[in-house]
């Protein structure tokens, strides 16, 4: 079974500051990744999103990569073979963004990837979320205040993945769930894995240890 992945990127203005976002429909929960650069282009951010998504998976993984960028999808499925045959050149000169293209080619070759173009801003939840994450990455690259998502995240509007055998679901309020999802995305793991690791750490620390750590953090912050 293929894991569905959404990747998106963009710049405002183009060229200029940009961001990329990735949404992975992992069986254990939604995984979200994002980042940005202060000086880049729209196409480079689109390519970076796909690269970061593929880097998340081990070699041999079966993935369906959904992108709203014809540039990315056609580069891999239609144009890249000819470029490689000509020494990474097009009919008019060197391939643009060759560093990212070669990295994308190497990652895709080591995985079973089905590339799917989706229409942007057409209401597909994963694509919309990846777009918002790209905007978040751009704002963070610029050091701007991070705004909350304008719409609920997919996990709040779509059925959550079924819990794994031997696990128990834990309810979180919306604000805490958003913080966990963001932190898990930055760590490159699923929210479920992030919560499990936090729970293990809390059990190791014991209530007294947690109180001591919290007091130390408050002391440093004051």
Q: 8 in a domain, yes or no? A: yes
The residue range of the domain holding 26 is: 3-145+153-163
Q: 221 in a domain, yes or no? A: no
Per-residue pLDDT of the chain (222 residues; tens, 9 = 90+): 899 999 999 999 999 999 999 999 988 888 999 999 999 999 999 999 999 999 999 999 999 999 999 999 999 999 999 999 999 999 999 999 999 999 999 999 999 999 999 999 888 999 999 999 999 999 999 998 765 554 444 444 444 444 445 555 566 666 676 677 777 666 656 666 677 778 877 887 888 878 887 777 777 776
Q: Which tokens belong to 154?
A: 């997919």
Residue 68 annotated as part of some ligand binding site: yes
Name the active-site residue from 8, 26, 32, 37: 8
C-beta separation of 22 from 133 below 8 A: yes
Name the active-site residue from 21, 131, 137, 185: 131
Q: Check residue 157 and give its pLDDT.
A: 41
For the question of residue 12 being annotated catalytic, the response is no
Q: Which tokens belong to 80?
A: 């890249």
Instruction: At 192, give phi and psi (nearest 5°).
Output: -60, -45
Q: 200 in a domain, yes or no? A: no
Q: Check residue 84 and give its pLDDT.
A: 97
| Alpha-carbon torsion angle 63, 69, 71, 74, nearest 10 | 40
For the question of residue 8 being annotated catalytic, the response is yes
Q: 176 in a domain, yes or no? A: no
Q: 50 in a domain, yes or no? A: yes
For the question of residue 99 being annotated catalytic, the response is no
Q: Check residue 208 and give its pLDDT.
A: 84
Question: What do you get for the CA distance between the two ends of the chain, in Å?
Answer: 51
C-beta separation of 210 from 198 below 8 A: no
* Residue whose tokens read 């709040």: 156
Residue 12 annotated as part of some ligand binding site: no
Q: Check residue 153 and give its pLDDT.
A: 44
Name the active-site residue from 68, 126, 128, 137: 68
Q: Check residue 190 and give its pLDDT.
A: 62
Q: Check residue 166 and give its pLDDT.
A: 54
- Indicate the number of domains in the chain: 1
Q: Which residues contact 115 (CB under 8 A, 6 or more apart)?
A: 65, 67, 72, 73, 76, 77
Q: What is the CATH number of the domain that holds 41?
A: 3.30.420.10
Residue 46 annotated as part of some ligand binding site: yes
Q: 222 in a domain, yes or no? A: no
Residue 128 annotated as part of some ligand binding site: no
Q: 198 in a domain, yes or no? A: no
């Amino acid at each position: 079974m293929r894991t569905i992945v959404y990747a998106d990127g963009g710049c405002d203005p183009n060229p200029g500051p940009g961001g990329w976002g990735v949404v992975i429909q992992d069986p254990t929960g939604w995984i979200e990744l994002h980042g940005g650069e202060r000086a880049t282009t729209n196409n480079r951010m689109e390519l970076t999103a796909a690269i970061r998504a593929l880097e998340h998976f081990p070699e041999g993984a079966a993935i369906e990569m959904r992108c709203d960028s014809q540039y990315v999808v056609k580069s891999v499925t239609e144009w890249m073979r000819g470029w490689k045959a000509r020494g990474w050149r097009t009919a008019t000169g060197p391939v643009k963004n060759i560093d990212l293209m070669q990295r994308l080619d190497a990652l895709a070759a080591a995985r079973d990837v089905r590339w799917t173009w989706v229409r942007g801003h057409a209401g597909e939840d994963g694509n919309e979320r990846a777009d918002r994450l790209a905007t978040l990455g751009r704002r963070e690259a610029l050091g701007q205040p991070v705004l909350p998502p304008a719409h609920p995240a997919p996990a709040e509007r779509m059925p959550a993945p079924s819990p794994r055998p031997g696990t128990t679901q834990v309810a979180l309020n919306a604000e805490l769930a958003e913080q966990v999802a963001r932190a898990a995305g930055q760590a490159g793991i699923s929210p479920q894995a992030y919560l499990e690791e936090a729970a293990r750490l809390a059990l190791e620390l014991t209530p007294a240890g947690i109180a001591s750590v919290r007091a130390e953090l408050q002391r440093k912050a004051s």
